[in-house]
Amino acid sequence: MVGFLKGLILTLRTALRRPVTAQYPEPEKRQPVQDRFMGFPALTWDYEVVEPYCTGCMVCIRECPTQCMSAEMTDNPKAAEGTSSRRKIIETFEINLGRCILCGICVDVCNFDAIEMSHEHELSKYERNGNRADLDRLLELGREYQDKVSWKPTQPEKNSGVPKPGAKRPAAAKPAVADAEGKPSSEMTKEERLAAARARAAAKKRAQASDDAVAEDPPVAKGDMSPEDRVAAARARAAAKKQAQAADDAVAEAPPDAPAKAKSDMSPEERVAAARARAAVKKQAQASGDVAAEAPPVAKGDMTPEDRVAAARARAAAKKQASSEFDAKAEENTREGVTD
Ligand code: SF4
Ligand code: SF4
């Protein structure tokens, strides 16, 4: 009886107690999260200078293990006006929160107090890519977080955007990039910046091509050469020497020539082999002739390093062919000895 009453009291007490669970997803009934809670990353806002702390240095983007971040940096117009000490500022920033694993690495590596793990964790969407948060959304999340926890930068001296008195004004007035019309990059649209970057790349390529053409020109006197030209010439000479040495070695290893056999004494197989050897010799001679025709003989002292390499290669090819011709003849003679 006593046990029954105890159980009944416990049941009544539990039934009348305030619930310890929260009704989801009604926002006003949710449990508050702790300050240390790590939700989605958000960008912080510098209220003193009225701009983001983020300078677009890309360190967090490089370190993010899921590669879910992207950003673009631009010149800070406020630096040119002298109202901010940040010479560069973020122009676009995007985090695909659907891929973020909330690891906090981006916060740890940021040296500018520009990103924090906010308390936001309720961003369910129906679209697969619906959680791509752009710069405005990230700054909005950041401002909410800053207001909620009374956020302060960890390095206020270093990361404050307020220009220091007496500090040299940054030379941000000089445009970093300008298009054909001289428009500064900060005023360009994304497409214009892309076109300007492509034009710069094409100009660089053209300059490189003209440098290559100059490098292929006939050599100048050694005393007039630059150190790079001397190195290139020395390498070409070494390659030519190595090639000639390899050809000499091949000839030295070849056995002495053997007497040729009369055609009437050959077996059908030997005749076929001999015909093949002659065709190969002819082909090689033709190839050597072509090389020689393409490179008219000049005095060695007048040759460019490239000409010397080509001539050495032609000589080596001719030697190799002579060696294979010798091998074919030696094989015929060997066969003759066996059949006799
Ligand atoms: S919390 Fe981790 S996964 Fe998410 S954006 Fe930062 S570094 Fe990337
Ligand atoms: S959030 Fe920090 S690390 Fe990332 S780009 Fe901005 S300043 Fe650099």
Decide if 13 is inside a domain.
no
Residue pair 35/26 in contact by the 8 Å Cβ criterion? no
- Phi/psi at 188 (nearest 5 deg)? -80, 155
pLDDT, tens digit, 9 for 90 and up, residues 27-83: 788 888 898 999 999 999 999 999 999 999 999 999 999 999 999 999 999 999 999
Q: Domain check: are 286 and 328 in the same one?
A: yes
| Length of the chain counted residue by residue | 340
Whether residue 294 has pLDDT greater than 60: no
Decide if 166 is inside a domain.
no
**31: CA distance to ligand 1 center in Å?**
25
Amino acid identity for residue 13 in this structure: R
* Mutation choice for ligand 2 from 57, 64, 90, CB with most ligand atoms inside 8 A: 57
| H-helix or E-strand spanning residue 43 | strand 41-43
* Mutation choice for ligand 1 from 100, 118, 120, 123, CB with most ligand atoms inside 8 A: 100
Ligand 2, residue 90: give the atom nearest the CA: 6
Q: Domain check: are 235 and 193 in the same one?
A: no
Structural domain boundaries enclosing 127 = 24-159
* Mutation choice for ligand 1 from 43, 69, 70, 118, CB with most ligand atoms inside 8 A: 69
Q: Domain check: are 289 and 194 in the same one?
A: no
Ligand 1, residue 104: give the atom nearest the CA: 1
Per-residue pLDDT band at 90 (split at 50, 70, 90): very high
Decide if 283 is inside a domain.
yes
Decide if 29 is inside a domain.
yes
- pTM exceeding the 0.75 threshold for the entire prediction: no
Decide if 155 is inside a domain.
yes
Q: Which residue, 317, 305, 232, is CA-closest to 280?
A: 317
Q: Domain check: are 105 and 207 in the same one?
A: no
- Look over the chain and give the mean of its residue pLDDT values, rounded to a whole number: 78
Q: Which pLDDT value is given to residue 340? A: 36
pLDDT, tens digit, 9 for 90 and up, residues 268-278: 777 777 778 77
Residue pair 232/215 in contact by the 8 Å Cβ criterion? yes
- 125 against 180, higher pLDDT: 125
Q: Domain check: are 204 and 100 in the same one?
A: no
Q: Which CATH number fits the domain that encloses residue 30? A: 3.30.70.3270
Decide if 11 is inside a domain.
no
Spell out which residues line ligand 2, taking CB within 6 angstroms.
Answer: 54-60, 71, 90, 109-110, 112, 114-115
| Count of structural domains, the chain | 3
